[in-house]
Structure 1
């Protein structure tokens, strides 16, 4: 969405230079400290795992936003700087003046989040949300893959992830097609876009996306939301973890049985599974509403002990 937020005062400040943008960002005080991450110079801005996948290749700390921005400006003059980022901070809480002056009228009720850093790379991952990401300062390159490419993207661990959900283990700058041969098929389905300040991109629900910041100072504002989900519905990602616990290690024939059950009851391959029942007897298959979801959670808690 070229030029979607080109009228933002923040974008105008960014076009005047990094120092001017930092002055704008700090013209109103930050209300609290921020969390920042930093990767050593040899990682070339890639936030990822350490070599043996026991942790990450970056450290985390807290501090004041003006100090982080000052370090970011100084790092522009370092030949191989550390990767530095402040990620996913709620703008309305952290920088109320920024939130007031830079609004996305498409999503007036969605709270924006800000991402600030230098030349960094984030591995392809997915969000269980809809997303509009707005480039404010610097250029950003997005690489998107549809959800059905999951098998060709080689997701990493569930328990330890730098992005909230599993990330692709493929290094997109130098893919190892011996270790990850199916990535060549995923690449056939990839779409790329480079955003200039003022541009925005829509990332659909659960689409994989890798993000590269291409300038020494790069700022993004994004909006996450979910539409069409009933109030109180359970978390699909949490259910996926439970499904792995319940089904993955069953004998193949039993897994096939439960795949059929899921298709029937959850994905409604045969239509509404409760259509033949009177309303009073539908129970957990009844119409979605918060009271039903509360009862289902209680049933699940009792089943898990």
Structure 2
């Protein structure tokens, strides 16, 4: 059997220098490692001087507000996950000063089995103005960067409804990625309890229980993996599952999330998934089959021809996208809910 840490490598390409070169990577709809994409950042240079140096650097440019962090006890072994009966999560959320968090992070290096700790998804522009000014990614000038800091932590495979460029600033990070078509083989957890709004895989990448989750072997056969060094980056396509492991006692990552091509005012696909579960999942098989055909015609519409036989003034919800059309759709939906 393929071992979780012996997977096919993620494709590597030269670091793009223009949005057009990044577009060529994105058009492949596959993960791509971009070695050295942010190697010129001052933050990466300071990180090469040691953990204390990068901690000082973060604070030198000014800190404007408290930060949110999560923590789990030593028994979690760095893995942020569910509790034992899946009724909650195995970590707590706290808020405090970045300086205090960094002090605790540096102290934890000397502990043989430290608690897991992480500051996650903090917007940089309104937290660290100096860092934001001096460490820019010109190929994504209009995307708000976010910062992630932690020790040796493990984040379960999950997906984001966005494209992502993740840049390693300090410490090494290992990414294990799965295409959306591997969802069934990843055994997603409950919708009601999630670390960040979407289900995560139940499978422990470091120690998969193949008796309980036998189809995970197929996921591994189709997975790709990469380890980023400071200065490297990875492109993660829309809705690709990815598990992330921080391999060093101090790890800092900056990522860029964005969604291109969504018309203004459109609803959220994840919300539609929940509504579909409410409306379709528990129908008899023959009825589900009928609705699968209707969804393919009206929603996924592979040839883009649904409603084209109607005059434009009569196409209604099948007409060209616009904020007014989406408001009309929301009105229709509200009228059906009870």
Take 1:87 and 1:15, find their aligned partners in 2: how far apart are those partners? 22
Task: Report if the CA contact (8 A) 1:279-1:286 is conserved.
Answer: yes
Q: Distance in 2 between matches of 1:283 and 1:54?
A: 43
- SS of 2:300's equivalent in the other structure is coil
Counterpart residue number, 1:21: 54
| Backbone CA RMSD of aligned residues | 0.8
Secondary structure of the corresponding residue to residue 26 of structure 1 = helix
Correspondent of 1:135 among 141, 159, 168? 168
* 1:298 equivalent among 317, 326, 331: 331
1:25-53, Cα deviation, whole Å (9 max, x unpaired): 00023111111111101111000011111
Question: Secondary structure at 1:135's aligned position in 2?
Answer: strand
Which secondary structure state, in structure 1, belongs to the residue aligned with residue 238 of structure 2? coil
Residue 182 of structure 2: which of 149, 159, 175 is its match? 149
Q: How many pairs align?
A: 305
Describe the superposition over 1:67-95 as per-residue Cα deviations: whole angstroms up to 9, x where unpaired: 00000000000000000000000000111
Alignment correspondent of 1:268: 301
Aligned pair partner of 2:257 in 205, 221, 224: 224
Q: Does 1:259 align with 2:312?
A: no
Return the alpha-carbon distance in structure 1 between the equivalents of residues 304 and 251 of structure 2: 48
Aligned equivalent of 1:193, options 226, 235, 248: 226
Moved over 6 A (4+): none
**What is the TM-score of this pair, normalised by structure 2?**
0.89
Query: Which stretch of structure 1 is more off in the superposition, 163-172 or 137-146?
Result: 163-172
Q: Could you say if the C-alpha distance between residues 270 and 24 of structure 1 is closer, same or farther in structure 2, counting changes exceeding 3 Å?
A: closer
Query: Equivalent residue of 2:188, what SS?
Result: coil
2:87 paired residue among 39, 46, 54: 54
Distance 1:25 1:266 in 2: 46
Is there any run of 5+ residues in structure 2 with no aligned partner, and where? 1-33
Check the 8 A contact 1:125/1:163 in 2, yes or no.
no
Give a deviation string over 1:106-132, Cα, whole Å, max 9, x none.
100000000000000000000000000
Any unmatched runs of 5+ in structure 1? none
SS at match of 1:124: strand
User: What TM-score does the superposition give when structure 1 sets the normalisation length?
Assistant: 0.99
Do the aligned partners of 1:264 and 1:270 also contact (CA within 8 Å) in 2? no
Q: CA offsets per residue over residues 256-298 of structure 1, 9 Å max, x none?
A: 1111100110111464111100010000100011110111111
Specify which of 102, 106, 109 is matched with residue 73 of structure 1.
106
| Structure 1 match to 2:74 | 41
1:102 matches 2:144: no
